[in-house]
Amino acid sequence: MSGSIPESTDVFVIGGGPAGLAAAIAVRQRGLSAMVADGARDPIDKACGEGLLPDGVAALEELGIRIAPANGREFCGIRFLCGEQSAEARFSGSRSGLAVRRTVLHRAMMQRAEQLGADLCWETPVSGISRDGVQLGTHCVRARWIVGADGSGSRVRRWAGLDRGPRPRLRYAFRRHFRVSPWSDHMEVYWGERCQGYATAVSGEQMCVALASNDPRLRLEAGLRSLPQLAARLKGAEIISGERGALTGNRAFTRVWRGNVALVGDASGTVDAITGEGLGLSFRQAVALAECLTADDLARYQLEHRKLSRRPAWMARLMLLMDRRPGLQRRTLDVFRKHPEIFRRFLELHLGDLPPLRIVKDGLTLGWGLLTT
């Protein structure tokens, strides 16, 4: 092991998923050496909706990564559906989102990290950290900075004593792929009494379908029975991937750094999958972290991290007000259908295209619409 792994590095990233690779890419772009270690075999897959909103696409491009059109599929907006009702909003200007298989995204990020000279070590579990570096079995790699990017159950977070935070309300999400021709150029969110379903085309013949609920026993097949409109779209379609599950929800920690250790991605906190912001948020965090490491100022990263997380967390709480409230779901969609400019502005707020003070005005407008519907 000592013959193939560097003795030292500026930044050692523990966790080789998208957040960890983004951190390695961002620090290499700023001239710091970087090493990534993960116990998994590449490419890494994970249950997620596989859609990047326009701000996430922009963050990915800032890392120097563009997904070829043949490897993904653009979508132009968001559509909400509840029973027979539907409402949709398009992204402003010429912006678009991008749906891409998680494994395809991971390979593209690996290639970019390798192109920039980051050292990537797969099937290499980390056994501990210290002030001096990172322990890989009997081998210690000296590191000036250690980045924990090892997911929501982060061991790095525990090792660094950063596990304190309010108790989260977690939900359960499952994902599967179907071979079927796309029926929409929007990312679709289906609202039901027990769950939400998400459908996004990741290619010209594949749909990624995900389901999120508060019931740990509710799997995709049963959940689709409570979403008949989505189930009808998938009737007879070939299932082409296994069902993957994961926890989701808003989760925050009191601190995201201590000493020479910093957290990024799900290790540093999460936003509910309903926002579609998980990947994009981790990319923006990685860029902010790299800038703070370059400036030798992790205290600033704490502030930047909190600022980046505020809007997605707030939007998740707002959207989840409709969870398990069929009447509110129907009234909200009715307002969005009758007043599409309200839905469009909420989408712009969600993407950070409008100032937060606009929430007050549009929130009052939406509230009045709900009362009078």
Q: Is the pLDDT of residue 258 over 70?
A: yes
pLDDT tens per residue across span 220-242: 999 999 999 999 999 999 999 99
Mean pLDDT, residues 165-179: 94
Q: Which amino acid is residue 26, in one-letter code?
A: A
Q: By the 8 A CB rule, do 118 and 34 touch? A: yes
Quote the pLDDT of residue 324: 84
Model pLDDT, residue 282: 97
pLDDT value, residue 359? 56
Q: Which CATH number fits domain 8-77+97-167+250-317: 3.50.50.60, 3.40.228.10, 3.30.360.10, 3.40.50.300?
A: 3.50.50.60
pLDDT tens digit sequence for 107-164 = 999 999 999 999 999 999 999 999 889 999 888 999 999 999 999 999 999 999 999 9
Structure tokens at 190: 């289906």
**pTM across the whole model:** 0.93
Position 3 scores a pLDDT of 42
pLDDT at 9 over 90: yes
Among 116, 114, 113, 139, CA closest to 126: 139
Tokens of 18: 């998208």
- Mean residue pLDDT across the chain: 92
The Cβ of residue 168 has, within 10 Å, a number of other Cβ atoms equal to 17
Average pLDDT for residues 270-298, to the nearest whole number? 96
Predicted confidence (pLDDT) at residue 372 exceeds the cutoff of 70:
no
Please give the pLDDT value at position 367. Answer: 55
Top-confidence residue, 145 or 353:
145
- Read off the pLDDT band of 373 (50, 70, 90): low
pLDDT for position 1 = 37
pLDDT value of residue 48: 85
Query: In the CATH hierarchy, which fold is given to the domain comprising 171-248?
Result: Alpha-Beta Plaits (3.30.70)
The pLDDT tens digits of the residues spanning 51-99 come to 999 999 999 999 999 998 899 999 999 999 999 999 999 998 889 999 9
